[in-house]
Structure 1
Amino acid sequence: MSIWWSLHLRREAASVPLARRLLLGTMETAGVDPDVSYDLSVALGEACANAVEHGGGASRGGSSEAYRVTAYLDGEKCRIEVADSGPGFARAHAPRPPRVDAEHGRGLFLIRELADHVHIGDKPGRGGTVVSFDKMLKWTKDPSLLTA
C-alpha cells in the first residue's frame, strides 16, 4: 500500500496539531501500529513547531508565512518532510544536546530519538530548511482501510 499527502500550512501554532491529527488519522486508517503512529506524530509536531518558530524569512510571494508538510507511507516505511522558508540550518552552529531542564532546543534531538533516520538540510533554491525523517512501520491486525 502506498499513501502520500502534502499540506501547505500557515506559520501559526494552530497548524501543528492539525498536521499531527491528519498523520494520526491516516496511519490509523492504514492500520499502522499505534505506538509507531504516536512516535511519528510527536516527531512531526516537533518539526512543525520548529518551522513555525524559526521558518520565516524574507522571501518572495509571502511564502515565508507558510511551510509544507509531506508524508509518504510506502510499503514498510513512512517518510515525513517539513520544509520552511527560513534562513536555513547553520551547520557551523549544530545544536548540542540540551540540558535536562531546558525549555527549548530539544525538538531535533527528540526527532532523532523517535525516527530511524533523520536528515536536516537546506532547501535548494530560495532557501529554508528541510527536516525529513523515516521510520519502519509495524501493522495492526485489522486495518480500517482494508476492511472498508
Structure 2
Amino acid sequence: MSIWWSIHLRRDAASVPLARRLLLGTMETAGVDPDISYDLSVALSEACANAVEHGGDGDSAEAYRVTAYLDGEKCRIEVADSGPGFRPPSRPLPVRVASVEDEHGRGLFLIQALADHVHIGGKPGLGGTVVSFDKLLKWREDAPLIAV
C-alpha cells in the first residue's frame, strides 16, 4: 500500500506543528510503529523549522512544500523551500557537542541521527533547498494498512 501527500505551507512558525500533526496522523492511521513515527516527526519538524527560518527572503507569505510518501516499507519526506540555498556538505555532518545555550544549529544533525538516509540539495537553476530523508518502517501488529 502506498500513501502520499503534499502540502504548501506559509513560512510561519505555526506551520511546523501543522505538518508534524499531519504526518503523525497519517502514520497512526496506517499503523506505523509509534517510535518510528516519532523519529520522523521530529526530523520533519527540524526540516520545516529550517525552511521557515532560512527558506526565503524574509517574506513570511512565501511558501515551502512538504511531501511525504509511505511506500511499502519505507517513508520518504521532502521539504523544499525557495530561499537562497546553501552548499550541502559533501559528507555526513560530524557529530558536534552543542552547548546548553545554543538555540540553533542542531536541525540537520538531528535529521541525520533520526533518518536512515538524508539528502540535502538545491533545485537546479531555481535556488532554494530540498531536504529529503527516509526511514525504514516498522508496523504495529494491528496495523490496518500494513505493507505487503
TM-score by length of 2: 0.88
Q: Relative to structure 2, which stretch is displaced further, 94-103 or 47-56?
A: 94-103
Structure 1 residue 9: Cα displacement: 0.4
Q: How does 1:20-59 map to 2 (within 5 A)?
A: 20-57=20-57
Q: Relative to structure 2, which stretch is displaced further, 126-135 or 98-107?
A: 98-107
Q: Relative to structure 2, which stretch is displaced further, 94-103 or 108-117?
A: 94-103
Aligned to 1:123: 123
Q: Relative to structure 2, which stretch is displaced further, 1-10 or 135-144?
A: 135-144
- Distance (Å, rounded) in 1 between the aligned partners of 2:26 and 2:103: 31
Larger helix percent: 1
Structure 1 residue 63: Cα displacement: 9.7
- Distance (Å, rounded) in 2 between the aligned partners of 1:144 and 1:8: 28
The change in CA–CA distance for 1:84 and 1:64 in structure 2 (over 3 A counts) is: farther
- Distance (Å, rounded) in 1 between the aligned partners of 2:136 and 2:87: 29
Aligned to 1:73: 70
Structure 1 residue 103: Cα displacement: 1.4
Given that residues 56 and 64 in structure 1 are in contact (C-alpha distance below 8 angstroms), is that contact kept between their aligned partners in structure 2? Answer: no
Structure 1 residue 99: Cα displacement: 2.1
Structure 1 residue 143: Cα displacement: 2.2
Structure 1 residue 145: Cα displacement: 4.7
- Distance (Å, rounded) in 2 between the aligned partners of 1:34 and 1:49: 22
Structure 1 residue 91: Cα displacement: 3.9
Q: Does the residue aligned with 2:77 lie in a helix, a strand or coil?
A: strand
Given that residues 111 and 118 in structure 1 are in contact (C-alpha distance below 8 angstroms), is that contact kept between their aligned partners in structure 2? Answer: yes
- Distance (Å, rounded) in 1 between the aligned partners of 2:69 and 2:45: 16
The Cα offsets for residues 101-130 of structure 1, whole Å up to 9 and x where unpaired, read as 221100000000000000001112321000
Given that residues 89 and 129 in structure 1 are in contact (C-alpha distance below 8 angstroms), is that contact kept between their aligned partners in structure 2? Answer: yes
- Distance (Å, rounded) in 2 between the aligned partners of 1:114 and 1:3: 21
Tell me how large the CA RMSD over aligned residues is: 2.2
Q: Does the residue aligned with 1:37 lie in a helix, a strand or coil?
A: helix
- Structure 1 gaps, min length 5: none
Structure 1 residue 142: Cα displacement: 1.1
Q: Does the residue aligned with 1:8 lie in a helix, a strand or coil?
A: strand
